[in-house]
Amino acid sequence: ESLRNAIEVVQPGAIVKPSMSSGGTDGREFRSAGIPTYGAGAITLVRPDDFRAHGIDERLPIKSYFDQLIFWDVLLKDLAGGQG
């Protein structure tokens, strides 16, 4: 519910669904240590930026960057029991 609320703030009406990332994260190390690990995010990419991931011209739209700051602020405050 917290994740859904945070996404709704930056992407109203977005469909929230689980997915699996083919990219590497530090989650593997945490899981190996017995720490339950989840990934989350609400980055919005549009063509051609979505094809530039990990390339020499990788970039993130400015709005998406600031939306991520808002997303994490709302999510973490909600999970901590505060106002999001």
The whole-number pLDDT of residue 57 equals 76
Structure-block tokens of residue 35: 């720490």
Is the pLDDT assigned to residue 76 strictly greater than 70?
yes
Can you say whether residue 81 is alpha, beta or left, with left for phi > 0 and alpha for psi between -120 and 50 degrees?
Answer: left
CATH 1.10.150.900 fits 2-79, yes or no: yes
Residue written as tokens 């029991």?
A: 81
pLDDT, tens only, 14-45: 888 777 776 677 888 998 999 998 877 777 76
Can you say whether residue 46 is alpha, beta or left, with left for phi > 0 and alpha for psi between -120 and 50 degrees?
Answer: beta
Instruction: Report the C-alpha gap between 31 and 29 in whole angstroms.
Output: 6
> In the chain, where are the structural domains located?
2-79
Is the pLDDT assigned to residue 77 strictly greater than 90?
yes
Rounded to two decimals, what is the model's pTM? 0.71
